[in-house]
Structure 1
Amino acid sequence: MNLKELAQALELSQTTVSRALNGYPEVNAETRQRVVEMARKLGYAPNQQARRLATGRSMSIGHVIPRSIHEMMNPIFMEFVAGAGQTYSRHGYDMVISVVEDTKVNAAYREIATRKKADAVLVHGPRLADDRPALLRELDLPFLVHGRVPGQEKTTNWVDVNNRHAFERATNLLLDLGHRRIALLNGFEEMDFADRRRSGFEKAHADRGLETDPDIMKAADMTEPYGADNARRMLRSSNPPTAFLVSSMITAIGVARAISECGLKIGTDVSVITHDDALSFLPNSGDVPIFTCTRSSVRLAGTRAAELLIENILPNPDVPVSEYLEAELIIGQSTGPAPV
Structure 2
Amino acid sequence: MPRKKTVTLHTISERLGLSAHTVSKALRGLPGMSEETRKIVLDTARKLGYITKQQQISLAVDRIPVFHTKPFRFVFIQDSDSPMMITQQLRNGIRERMEDFGHLLETLTFSGTAIKELSAFAWAEKHGLFYADGIFLPPGLPFAFEQQLLELRLPKMMVNFPPPDAKVDSVIWDVTSAIYQSVHYYYSMGHRNIMYIGNIDQQRGFKQRWNAFNEAMQEHGLKPDPDMHMNHYVGSKEEWMRIFADKLATYKPTGFMCGLIGNLSLVFKVCGQLGKKIPDDYSLIALETIKKEIITDLSRPVLPVKETSERAVDRMLWRIGNPSVPYEHIRIQGEFHKGKTVRFI
TM-score, length of structure 2 as denominator length: 0.69
Distance apart, 1:85 and its partner CA = 1.3
Alpha-carbon distance between aligned partners in 2 of 1:96 and 1:128, rounded to the nearest angstrom = 17
Report the CA distance shift for 1:138/1:151 in structure 2 as closer, same or farther (over 3 A): closer
Are 2:337 and 1:336 equivalent residues in the alignment?
Answer: no
For 2:250 and 2:97, the matched residues in 1 are separated by 52
> Residues 136 and 142 of structure 1 are in contact (CA less than 8 Å); yes or no, is this contact kept in structure 2?
no
**1:64 and 2:64 aligned:** no
What's the RMSD between the two structures over aligned residues?
3.9
Distance in 1 (CA, whole Å) between partners of 2:126 and 2:323 is: 17
Residues 190-240 of structure 1 show CA distances to partners (whole Å, capped at 9, x for unaligned) of: 411111100111012222333232333223689xx68866654433x2332
Aligned to 2:215: 203
Report the Cα distance in structure 2 between the residues aligned to 1:169 and 1:191, rounded to whole angstroms.
21
Matched, 1:30 2:60: yes
Query: Separation in 2 of the partners of 1:80 and 1:127?
Result: 14
Residue matched to 1:20? none
Distance 1:164 1:336 in 2: 23
User: Which whole-Å CA distance do the structure 1 matches of 2:174 and 2:273 have between them?
Assistant: 34
Between the aligned partners of 2:58 and 2:127, the Cα distance in structure 1 is: 27
Q: Distance in 2 between matches of 1:184 and 1:254?
A: 14
The within-5 A match list for 1:50-129 is 51=70, 59-67=72-80, 70-73=81-84, 75-90=85-100, 91-101=102-112, 103=116, 104=118, 106-107=120-121, 110-111=124-125, 116-125=130-139
Range with greater deviation from structure 2 (139-148 or 207-216): 207-216
- Cα distance in 2 for partners of 1:229, 1:105 equals 41
Give per-residue Cα distances to partners, 1:74-93, cap 9 Å, x unaligned.
x1111111101112223221
In the other structure, the counterpart of 1:148 is: 161
Identify the residue that residue 256 of structure 2 maps to in structure 1: 244
**1:332 aligned partner, one-letter code:** G
* Structure 2 residue aligned with 1:19: none
CA separation in 1, counterparts of 2:343 and 2:264?
16
Taking every aligned residue pair, what percent have the same amino acid on both sides? 17
8 A contact 1:80–1:298 mirrored in 2: yes
Work out the CA distance in 2 between the residues paired with 1:214 and 1:35: 50
TM-score, normalization by structure 1: 0.70
Q: Which residue of 1 aligns with 2:228?
A: 216
Report 1:172-211 matches (<5 A).
172-211=184-223
Q: Deviations over 1:22-43 (max 9, x none)?
A: xxxxx9933999995xx7xxxx
Give the Cα–Cα distance (whole angstroms) in 2 for the partners of residues 245 and 269 of structure 1. Answer: 15
Distance across 2 between alignment mates of 1:298 and 1:221: 26
Distance 1:118 1:109, change over 3 A: farther
Q: 2:160 & 2:78 partners in 1: Cα distance?
A: 14
1:241 & 1:171 partners in 2: Cα distance? 14
Q: Deviations over 1:100-150 (max 9, x none)?
A: 3253562466427976242111112278976846x4564321101112224
2:20 is matched with which residue?
none
Structure 1 gap ranges (5+): 10-26, 40-44, 53-58
Check the 8 A contact 2:180/2:216 in 1, yes or no: yes
How many residues align structurally?
289
- Cα 1:204/1:127, change in 2 over 3 Å: farther
1:297 aligns with 2:269: no
What is the SS of the residue equivalent to 1:324?
A: strand
Following superposition, the deviation at residue 243 of structure 1 comes to: 0.8
